[in-house]
Structure 1
Amino acid sequence: MGHRGRPPAGRVDRPQNYANDVTFSPDGRLLASAGDDLTVRLWNVTTHRRLATLTDHTGAVRSVTFAPGGRTLASSGNDCTVRLWDVRRHHTEATLTGDVGSVRGVAFSRDGRTLASNGTERTVSLWDVGRRRGWATLTGHTNSVWSVVFAPDGRTLVSSSTDGTVRLWDLDPQARRAAICRLRAGLDARELAALLSGVPASDLPRAAACARRG
């Protein structure tokens, strides 16, 4: 005998022609959707009504995620941008540029201070949310990166790619500096760049000097 599932609890008003992603706010009261029609839409979960349509993207929107506090929403799209939205006022707080190609996913760290983005160009970008600028590009994947997520400790980032791999990135700057400073031999520029990928710009001079001393 077949089992019938429960009927849906409700349905929001007609969304975009094609919704690429959906996410709940931390308190569960709002739902955001990312659409092929270049929009981000916000919905009231209780009333199932649309609250706002955010329209600044110039390409299909691929991903949406709320910051831990719920006041900021991040979206990414085919226009090569990541946008930060004020959820209450329904306007853009910042546009983060620097990614090349479609930006397929975004994820906030647990403290909301770092945002990771991934896309078709084989890299993961890390952004300082407060300063509205990038501080690292993680390289190593050999094909498009499709997803990123932070571990609960906030110091590890996981990325998945169509190159068939899942990579874990150590974002703890103290651990990275210590590892570099334990090296006995000096590093050339290429080796140093690979080891320092993911270290904040403010930490680079000290780590680089330590590594070059050997």
Structure 2
Amino acid sequence: MASVLDDPTLERHFKGHKDAVTCTDFNPNRKQLASGSADKNLMIWNLAPKGRAFRFVGHQDAVTSVQFSPFGNLVATSSKDRTVRLWTPSMKGESTVFKAHTAPVRSVAFSHDGHRLVTASDDKSVKVWSVERQCFVYSLSQHTNWVRCARFSPDGRLIASCGDDRTVRLWDTSTKHCINCFTDYGESATFVDFNPSGTCLASSGADSSLKIWDLRTNKLIQHYQVHSAGINSFSFHPSNNYLISGSTDSTVKILDLLEGRLIYTLHGHKGAVITVAFSRAGDLFASGGADCKVLMWRTNFDAKSYQDVLQQHSRRSTPDPPPHLTDIHPRGPHLHRQQPRAIQISQTVADTQSTDPQVIELGRAAHSAKRAEKQLDATGPMTIDHKAHLRLLGACSSSLCSLLPVQ
């Protein structure tokens, strides 16, 4: 039988959220993991075995998206409270508040140089912001229904967005024009992102499909139908060779993009898997879901040929049935032949590394004081919500302040 090191393994689980975990992201410094939740809070988990966790309080409604800046010195969150916050991941708990959307904000993402933010909202718009100048830059408004997700391409020349109008749109950031629109979704398009090299665009749907287009030819090159319910999130491995997806069917799937097929199905969550994310190095990935848990997995599968792993597996649990549609499109007609089997991994969700981390809450004093926040329109100034003087923490000792340094 294959060594456990050949397959993805559950490293740790993090418990601290009181409602569904909706979003996750790793700090580029490889020391922290951020998660947002329907409990309105941002959590930053220290990956050291005995590290403390930090709960950032400030949003008035569910957190929908989270992302570290490229240098790890800022964390952006979006929320159903119609705001986006930029947090400094330090003991001061300071955050900057953007109030520009008129409906819940579904996603927020940095450009790869860290200079811009892109947000997507139920107000049917995509908006771009300057991080340094702290101001609104421009809006993209051709969607006809809620916009679920928006992302910059690696080179910053393009923005991709998708939403409940069943379209995936591609925008030119220099002309602000929509240069392409993919419309072959039967239901809402739920998530969109570029592969790390910027040559392909992937999107997922509530119809459980995942599609990948080659941006050099604007052709659909891969079409996966491996989940039995809608896909809520996916993430590319930095090598471009793998993709993980999380679904309402309670599973995480791992796809080999070079061979165009499903290779692993992970059963770790009870209930919908809402978010998945690779670390920047690709050695770890996180998943979160309706069970309020964040699971951190070690990748392992990128270190060895999957064919070698399959050959070593003398015994496997019942595999997934072959998908009704072809795993990869177009590669000729589907002949309904038995496909190579995917390995099922059912992990017991138990943290064998450490006890549940101590959680330190930041921002409660400023939050309860209900400080007035000015509305930020397309030309107005940004409101800074300072959370430096935290009564509940008292005097912050130098040792405590050093637990979560700004990178």
Judging changes above 3 Å, is the alpha-carbon distance between structure 1 residues 44 and 142 closer, same or farther for their aligned structure 2 residues? same
Name the residue aligned to 1:23. Answer: 67
Aligned-residue Cα RMSD (Å) equals 1.9
Superposition map of 1:83-94 within 5 A: 83-94=127-138
Distance of 2:159 and 2:13 partners within structure 1: 41
1:141-189: CA deviation from partner (whole Å, max 9, x where unpaired): 111001111112211111110112111111104x86xxxxxxxxxxxxx
Name the residue aligned to 1:107. Answer: 151
Name the residue aligned to 2:344. Answer: none
Distance of 1:170 and 1:75 partners within structure 2: 24
Could you tell me which amino acid in structure 2 is paired with residue 132 of structure 1? K
Name the residue aligned to 2:194. Answer: 150
Could you tell me which amino acid in structure 2 is paired with residue 71 of structure 1? H
Asked if structure 2 preserves the Cα contact closer than 8 Å seen for 1:29 and 1:46, the reply is: no
Superposition map of 1:108-187 within 5 A: 108-173=152-217
Could you tell me which amino acid in structure 2 is paired with residue 139 of structure 1? T
| Residues 1:60 and 2:104 are matched in the alignment | yes
Q: Match of 1:11, SS? A: strand
1:68-88: CA deviation from partner (whole Å, max 9, x where unpaired): 110100000000000101112
Distance of 1:47 and 1:131 partners within structure 2: 41
Return the offset for 1:4. Answer: 8.8
TM-score by length of 2: 0.40
Moved over 3 A (4+): 3-9
Q: 1:98 aligns with which of 142, 159, 163?
A: 142
Could you tell me which amino acid in structure 2 is paired with residue 76 of structure 1? A
| Residues 1:76 and 2:120 are matched in the alignment | yes
Q: 1:10 aligns with which of 54, 60, 63?
A: 54
Asked if structure 2 preserves the Cα contact closer than 8 Å seen for 1:11 and 1:48, the reply is: no
Could you tell me which amino acid in structure 1 is paired with residue 208 of structure 2? G
Q: 1:49 aligns with which of 87, 93, 102?
A: 93
Distance of 1:146 and 1:167 partners within structure 2: 12
Higher helix share: 1
Q: 2:79 aligns with which of 35, 38, 47?
A: 35
Name the residue aligned to 2:313. Answer: none
Structure 1, 62-71 or 127-136: larger mean CA deviation: 127-136
Distance of 2:201 and 2:145 partners within structure 1: 21
Q: Which has the higher contact order (CA 8 A, sep 6+)?
A: 2
Asked if structure 1 preserves the Cα contact closer than 8 Å seen for 2:122 and 2:145, the reply is: yes
Could you tell me which amino acid in structure 2 is paired with residue 30 of structure 1? L
Return the offset for 1:122. Answer: 1.1
Name the residue aligned to 2:403. Answer: none
Asked if structure 1 preserves the Cα contact closer than 8 Å seen for 2:59 and 2:81, the reply is: no
Distance of 1:58 and 1:19 partners within structure 2: 16
Distance of 1:71 and 1:51 partners within structure 2: 17
Judging changes above 3 Å, is the alpha-carbon distance between structure 1 residues 4 and 17 closer, same or farther for their aligned structure 2 residues? closer
Distance of 2:97 and 2:161 partners within structure 1: 22
Distance of 1:124 and 1:57 partners within structure 2: 20
Answer with 1 or 2: which has the greater Rg: 2
Judging changes above 3 Å, is the alpha-carbon distance between structure 1 residues 48 and 15 closer, same or farther for their aligned structure 2 residues? farther
Distance of 1:114 and 1:160 partners within structure 2: 19
Structure 1, 47-56 or 34-43: larger mean CA deviation: 47-56
1:115-152: CA deviation from partner (whole Å, max 9, x where unpaired): 10010111101111122221111121111001111112
Superposition map of 1:189-200 within 5 A: none
Could you tell me which amino acid in structure 2 is paired with residue 123 of structure 1? T
Judging changes above 3 Å, is the alpha-carbon distance between structure 1 residues 46 and 130 closer, same or farther for their aligned structure 2 residues? farther
